A and B are shown apart, each in its own frame.
Chain A
Amino acid sequence: MPLNPLEVVRLIEDNMKRYGFPFPIPADAIYSWAKPLGLPARGSPMLYTGALYQLMPYIASIVESLAKIEGSSVSVMALRVSRFLPGFLTGLVVKPRGEFQVYSESILRSIVKLLKTSGVNVAYPYEGDLYSGVLLYDLGLDELFREQALKVYKALKERGATTVITVDPHTTHILRSIYPRYIDGFDLEVKSYLEVLAESGFKPGYSIHRDVVIHDPCLYARFENIVDQPRNLLASIGVKYLEPRRTRRMTYCCGGPIEGLAPKMAKAIASSRLKELVEKSKSIVTLCPICYSNLKAVAGDDIEIIDIALLLSGEKS
């Protein structure tokens, strides 16, 4: 049966109000990765993750549960008046996928390392690394989104940020292009770490000779004009990137944005995209944790999906 989208939206709204995150996640799971790095808690530029990389292991696990409900044979028509679905979901214990969590944290540490190598020393807000509200905006929960955006803005300003460095396309887009519409006088400069690296003349002094196919995330490519930077960065360490049939500004979605609302459809879309990518190479570079998670979910063991930060930092070569 298809999930009733409004019920899933209500669940997310409920979680947000209760936990400050769209899914229950322990607060320190957001910033524990940064502890060993000893980054200052105040200053600028400020690295802001918006919690997306950290949330993905939890989202991947909740999507599995949603997919199970979706896969059951009860008709959505029979459930239309009942509150069965949210009740059932609220009771779910969300366990993160362990290996995924380790992976996400290593990506974030790589990003700090890459910035450092390029002479950019960042501050990090720790408990102030709040959820950006991306999902609230995408789901049309405008009031809740506005409140969250104000909280984030305040947290970053209080800690002395003037420039904010983001790590994923969704957070980059929401902060740079959407926050200013909801926050009067918004004056933070927002840049993706890929833009910062490209501008800083990234020269790590090692090369990685291999072929990969690049999967542009929709928001970087179509909404934030971040298309050439990742390519130049890959080329600068000797990685040969191949272009899939639909690429750059006309890149094709991984299906991720509806993974919680229609898991089956999301998988179908991911499979179409994966097929097209694999025609070029079995090593796929992603620039977004949602793309990573969705393509990974439909990829066989013979296909490697690598986050660009790990490739650039030489941790996966």
Chain B
Amino acid sequence: MTLKLDSLRALDEIYKALDDNILQAALSRASYNNQVKVTEILASRPEIASLAIEVREIKRRSIMKLEELIDQAISSLKAAKANPYYASSVEDARSIIGRIVGSNKLVILSKSMAAAELDLRSYLESQGNEVWETDLGEFLIQLEGVKPMHTIAPAVHMTREKALILLKGKLKIDVKEDTIESIANTAREFLRSKIIRADIGITGANALAADTGTIVTVENESNIRLVSSIPPVTIAIVPIDKIVPTLLDAVKVAIIQAAYAGLYPPTYINIVTGPSSTADIEQTRVYGAQGPKELHVILLDNGRLNAKSNPLLGEQLYCIRCGRCSFECPVWVHTANYWGGPVYGGPMGIIWTAITIDPIEAGKLAYLCLQCGRCDESCPVGIRLSYILRYLKTIAISGSMSKL
């Protein structure tokens, strides 16, 4: 059940995508809109670009002392009464989460690329659980049965016609009108009924503060809020590259991620330090007030520490997953995440696939990179994506990673 990349099969899919006119139109619209939005944000708020430079420095320093930050985060999480776990591999993470969740549970997820790395939905379903994505885009692609097509806009290829067919066909729900609003309402009603009864909520994270053990997430839909506060047990999957020294650093990361994703100001930034509690009676603290009673935090390695030791792949660990490099990429705008691997896509996606799955197969896909450098120019944390992609080509053609 581990995720694999077969680059030739991926090329066949990419070529099919090229012939899909609806997809091509949707991608070109989405990338145009995103470019316009981000340009506006940066032009009207000069403080964002300077904050991005600060975040670049925060990320660089964090990755440099990553091992130390992991240890610190683990003690801070314990101090905050959360349960931290270190998962070296996909298998590790699945079995840890599997033990927490058990079977016959109702599980709700908020969009998380880390969960996608684990192919968590299928895994939990295979253990006899009912699992629902609560982000609208992710929910629709769950119904469709495909992979997320962009880091922040998983359903970038979705049309209202397709969404209607999915809701009617897969869930047998009637949507009153064929407006986007009505689709969103229908999904909301359906998901509400699940969220309210859920046993377990699983989120990702934009950043984790090592000094306080605080998980920071940023969003517009408010589903992360619900998933991380309504179920009695919650789990956060945090890739280790998301750990930064302080809570303030973590909030800065979230703000920059949102701004470069074209969502500024973000509607919500969530700050979660441990499970909910109350000390209202006799000043004695008990856990489990209105929010969860238990919070489990999975620190996911999955190739990251190994990548850190490689000066080029290690640079990708600065990534805050804003997805701007994809929207600016002339290739991605014709392929969506079909170009990249089973989880990630686009310029950053190829490199994340190399780190988490297979550098040689990822390197073969890197051959579609133009080396045009628009991604390098766009990345808020200054990752030299095109340079790393060229390096992946040397790996693919020589069949080994030894040379650098």
Footprint of B on A, CB under 8 Å? 1-2, 4-6, 9, 75-77, 80, 137-142, 218-219, 222-223, 246, 249-250, 252-253, 255-258, 261-262, 264-265, 268-269, 272-273
Contact = CB atoms under 8 A, between A and B. Distances in A.
29 contacts: A2-B11, A2-B14, A6-B364, A76-B12, A77-B9, A138-B371, A139-B393, A140-B391, A140-B397, A141-B394, A142-B394, A142-B398, A218-B373, A222-B374, A222-B376, A249-B377, A250-B377, A252-B330, A257-B370, A258-B368, A258-B370, A261-B367, A264-B15, A264-B18, A268-B24, A268-B334, A269-B334, A269-B370, A272-B333
B186 to A, nearest CB: 35
B396 interface: yes
A253 B8 contact: no
A118 B300 CA distance: 62
Contacts of B377: 222, 249-250
A268 B18 contact: yes
Interface class of chain B by DSSP: helix
A250 B35 CA distance: 11
Contact of B15 (A2, A6, A137, A222): A2
B394 to A, nearest CB: 4
B9 A269 contact: no
Contacts of A6: 364, 367, 396-397
Interface string B327-344: 010110111000000000
B403 interface: yes
B330 A269 contact: yes
B12 A255 contact: no
Interface string B78-102: 0000000000000000000000000
Interface in B336-393: 363-364, 367-374, 376-377, 390-393
Contacts of A265: 14, 18, 331, 334-335, 368
A54 to B, nearest CB: 22
Closest 6 CB pairs of A and B: A140-B393, A5-B367, A253-B372, A140-B394, A2-B11, A218-B372
A271 to B, nearest CB: 10
A219 B373 CA distance: 8
Contacts of B335: 265
A139 B12 contact: no
B368 A5 contact: yes
B142 interface: no
Interface class of chain A by DSSP: helix
Given A2-B11, A268-B334, A250 B374 contact: yes
Contact of A262 (B364, B368, B371, B397): B368
Given A253-B374, A269-B331, A76 B8 contact: yes
Contacts of A1: 12, 15
Contacts of B277: none
A149 B27 CA distance: 40
A139 B9 CA distance: 21
Contacts of B394: 140-142
Contacts of A218: 370-374
B401 to A, nearest CB: 12
B11 A76 contact: yes
B28 interface: yes
Contacts of B373: 218-219, 222-223
Contacts of A142: 394, 398, 403
Contacts of A257: 370-372
A246 B397 CA distance: 33
Contacts of B372: 218, 222, 253, 257
Contact of B390 (A138, A249, A269): A138
Nearest to B329: A253
Contacts of B392: 140
Given A9-B397, A77-B8, A258-B367, 12 more contacts: A6-B396, A6-B397, A137-B390, A138-B371, A140-B394, A140-B396, A218-B371, A253-B370, A261-B368, A264-B18, A265-B368, A268-B18
Contacts of A269: 330-331, 334, 370
Contacts of B391: 140
Contacts of B18: 264-265, 268
